[in-house]
Amino acid sequence: DGGITQSPKYLFRKEGQNVTLSCEQNLNHDAMYWYRQDPGQGLRLIYYSQIVNDFQKGDIAEGYSVSREKKESFPLTVTSAQKNPTAFYLCASSPTSGNRGEQFFGPGTRLTVL
């Protein structure tokens, strides 16, 4: 699939380690988002970025960090401060920040803490 990609697909982490999840898009979208998905729950917003070099916390930002140095890239770091990081992580993008419109999702990264 083109458009928006995430890597790796599966990631295993030991407790106390930081890990970084990659998200890249070639859709020329201004806005990018990180969501966390847990079984039986909807998508919860971690961080979002409306433009390069700018990002804001979502509903569950504690224990996570992001950067937006390039329009195409929005990596998410899961730090050791995140108490329950095992989850499915989805990255998304949308054309503009003013009118969210349709969000395009990446294929996701499944993170497991051992």
Give residues in contact with another protein (CB under 8 A).
33, 40-45, 48, 58, 90, 97-103, 105-108
Go through 6-30 and write b for each residue having 16 or more CB atoms within 10 A of its CB, e for each that does not: beeeebebeeeeebebebbbeeebb
Distance, CA of 31 to CA of 9 (rounded, Å): 22
| Nearest CB to another protein, comparing residues 70 and 107 | 107
Least spacing, CB of residue 26 vs another protein, in Å: 16
Closer residue to another protein, CB minimum distance, 6 or 82: 6
**CA 91 from chain center: how many Å?**
4
Q: How far is the CB of 57 from another protein (least distance, A)?
A: 11
For the bound state, the minimum distance from the C-beta of residue 53 to another protein, rounded and expressed in Å, comes to: 19
